Amino acid sequence: MPSSFLNKLIQAQACSLWIKLPILIMLGGLSALAQAPTYYLPLLFIGFSIFYFFYDACQNKRQCFATAFCFSLGYFAVGLYWIGNALLVEGNEAFLWVWPFAVIALPILLSLFPALYLTINHILFPKNNISRFLGFCVFIGLSEWVRGTAFTGFPWNLYGYTWLGFMPIAQTASLIGPYGLTLITILWASVLGYLLTPQKHIDSKVIIASFAILTLSLSAFYGTERLTNTQITYQENIDIKIIQPNIHQANKWKNDKLVKNFETHIALSEENANPDKRTIIIWPETAMPPAFINNAAVNERINVMIQKNNAILLSGALNIDSKAGNEQPLYHNALNFWSKFNNAERIYTKSHLVPFGEYIPFQGYIPFQAVASFGAFERGDGPQTIAIPEIPSFSPLICYESIFPHETVNNQLTPEWLLVITNDGWYGDSPGPYQHLAQAQFRAIETGIPVIRAANTGVSAFINPLGETTQKADLMKKSILNGNLPKPTFLKTYYSVFKELPFLSIFLILGVFAIFLRNKDFLS
């Protein structure tokens, strides 16, 4: 690296905190571009290295908190700005006042996690040595796990997800999971910042650089071997037909549009029908409105479509159960099943609901209406493996549920495929649908189980058990995807067996080394 650049970097490190804070916000924002759909991975390495370089110069808790907070604020603000689009959809005018909170308050809230944990790191490891760097990596990794699990969790855009831009490294999630990959990614991405810090003993830099190169190389080697040597096989007797109707969110629940929306699903389903092969037709989240469920005319129309395709239909549906008396009805974001023997059988109910979208946390104290406009939804019973005659068993995930790695499958009965139905039409042409797809790809990598993803719009896909999209529909485009159902990998993945134990092991090993080396002057 040219000495002139290094000198400028050292001068910037010595600048006033108020000068560095906007730089950190910008670096965090640039780092977010390493996520889907751009996958500009070098920006994460640049951003994190300069982030650590500035953090290393912090002299007190206030500086550490502000440094971590501003970098994270830029990262979450750029990575999640699109969430506010849901409040701009026609019909949601009553929620426009919430828009600033969605695009500003959420990034602020999420930024508190790394800011708090890196402040703790400063308290434990105030000396600028190898322990401080290891603590930096460990505590950001811990903060990512906490934000992904605490208060129902929000593990969106974990740093490890950036590796979908380089699939061999992404395969490491099958061993150590997304949180383990996130922790080690933080180390890889910030190691250059540690190497550039002045007044560090050369031995400590050699140790850290060697460890980073070794683990990155081993990860790439493992991933390459997994991609090369895992044979993808298919259920030759089962055809999947994914319907992406691309219905504008503003038209989805208008009474005068319901019949047209239904006929759009039917017409796409009947296109290129092949009665000689068993077909699973999949409609996206809430494709069936309440009035159409158990409606005789609708069931007859669906049965005709099923007969043409020699098919069964799995469709997202909004189910309503009436209650006795004058109480409010019960709403279910559900998956329904149709066949020539069954009409509108509800086989799964979404269990992990969207806060403020499908229910209001602490509703007794927060008198707001949920954005979904149907009142509070009822929760389902959690991950389930569904067995339907003549098709392989599967585990359904409805929209938001697919972002939680620890809630993907029922551990008592492993499914043969994962079904994700979603409606990303709320977010328009934005990074959101692509980021959502990326997390479904990681669920395949982690479990070794293929994922079939059906979206109202963006992005329906066939995802093989290595996380590769073999077919993908374009965002904001009416589409049909046809193909054979992939089979899961022959062996269970390490992560599917041990869950977060590998992440906790890495966390403890690096943490113990940080504590052990805290007062070792020869590595200062």
On whether both 206 and 287 belong to a single domain, the answer is no
Given a cut of 80, whether residue 110 has pLDDT beyond it is yes
Count of residues in the chain: 524
Of the listed 144, 285, 358, 446, which one is catalytic? 285
Q: Is 350 a catalytic residue?
A: yes
**Main-chain dihedrals φ then ψ at residue 277, nearest 5 degrees:** -135, 140
Q: How many CB atoms lie within 10 A of CB 13?
A: 17
**For 62-78, how does the pLDDT look when each residue is reduced to its tens digit (9 = 90+)?**
999 999 999 999 999 99
Confidence of residue 364 (pLDDT cuts 50, 70, 90): low
Q: Does a structural domain hold residue 371?
A: yes
On whether both 387 and 506 belong to a single domain, the answer is no
On whether both 302 and 335 belong to a single domain, the answer is yes
Q: Is 70 a catalytic residue?
A: no
In whole angstroms, what is the distance from residue 433 CA to residue 424 CA? 6
Q: What is the pLDDT of residue 19?
A: 87
Question: Three-state DSSP class for 234?
Answer: strand
On whether both 63 and 97 belong to a single domain, the answer is yes
Q: Does a structural domain hold residue 422?
A: yes
113-116 long-range Cβ contacts below 8 angstroms, 24+ apart: 113/72, 113/143, 113/144, 113/146, 113/147, 114/68, 114/69, 114/71, 114/72, 114/139, 114/140, 114/143, 114/144, 115/65, 115/66, 115/68, 115/69, 115/72, 116/65, 116/143
What residues have CB less than 8 Å from 512, skipping those under 6 apart?
Answer: none
Given a cut of 90, whether residue 356 has pLDDT beyond it is no
pTM > 0.85: yes or no: yes
Q: What is the pLDDT of residue 51?
A: 97
CATH of the domain at 318: 3.60.110.10
Nearest residue to 484 via CA among 274, 285, 201, 299: 274
Residue pair 509/517 in contact (Cβ under 8 Å)? The answer is: no
In whole angstroms, what is the distance from residue 72 CA to residue 79 CA? 10
- Residue, of 471 and 4, whose pLDDT is higher: 471
**For 231-280, how does the pLDDT look when each residue is reduced to its tens digit (9 = 90+)?**
999 998 899 999 999 999 889 989 999 999 999 999 999 999 888 889 99
Give the DSSP letter string of 436-472: HHHHHHHHHHHHT--EEEEESSS--EEE-TTS-EEEE
Left if phi > 0, otherwise alpha if psi is -120 to 50, otherwise beta: which for 241? Answer: beta
On whether both 192 and 128 belong to a single domain, the answer is yes
Q: Is 399 a catalytic residue?
A: yes
Q: Does a structural domain hold residue 493?
A: no
Confidence of residue 86 (pLDDT cuts 50, 70, 90): confident
Number of domains comprising the chain: 2
Q: What is the pLDDT of residue 518?
A: 86
CA 15 → CA 11, 48, 195, distances in Å? Answer: 6, 18, 20
Of the listed 378, 399, 468, 500, which one is catalytic? 399
The edge-to-edge listing of strands for the beta sheet with 469-472 is 394-398, 417-422, 451-455, 461-463, 469-472
Q: Omega of the bond prior to 37 within 30 degrees of 0, cis?
A: yes
In whole angstroms, what is the distance from residue 420 CA to residue 240 CA? 13
On whether both 481 and 516 belong to a single domain, the answer is no
Q: Which two tokens stand for residue 257?
A: 């549009």
Q: What is the mean pLDDT of the chain?
A: 91
Dihedral sign, Cα of residue 266, residue 272, residue 273, residue 279: negative
The edge-to-edge listing of strands for the beta sheet with 234-244 is 345-349, 330-338, 311-321, 278-288, 234-244, 479-486
Confidence of residue 432 (pLDDT cuts 50, 70, 90): very high
* Domain, as residue range, for 431: 234-488
On whether both 284 and 179 belong to a single domain, the answer is no
SS3 content of the chain, % helix, strand, coil (to 5): 55, 15, 30
On whether both 451 and 515 belong to a single domain, the answer is no
pLDDT above 70: percentage of residues in the chain: 91
Q: Does a structural domain hold residue 494?
A: no
Q: What mean pLDDT do residues 415-419 have?
A: 97
Given a cut of 70, whether residue 412 has pLDDT beyond it is yes
In whole angstroms, what is the distance from residue 413 CA to residue 405 CA? 16
Nearest residue to 251 via CA among 264, 242, 241: 264
On whether both 426 and 307 belong to a single domain, the answer is yes
Q: What is the pLDDT of residue 6?
A: 60
In whole angstroms, what is the distance from residue 229 CA to residue 221 CA? 12
- Look at 113-117, 148-152, 167-171 and tell me which has the smallest mean pLDDT: 148-152
**For 279-324, how does the pLDDT look when each residue is reduced to its tens digit (9 = 90+)?**
999 999 999 999 999 899 999 999 999 999 999 999 999 998 876 5
In whole angstroms, what is the distance from residue 393 CA to residue 30 CA? 42
On whether both 395 and 270 belong to a single domain, the answer is yes
On whether both 128 and 252 belong to a single domain, the answer is no
> Which H or E run contains 114?
helix 106-124
On whether both 335 and 391 belong to a single domain, the answer is yes
Q: Does a structural domain hold residue 17?
A: yes
**For 495-505, how does the pLDDT look when each residue is reduced to its tens digit (9 = 90+)?**
999 999 999 99
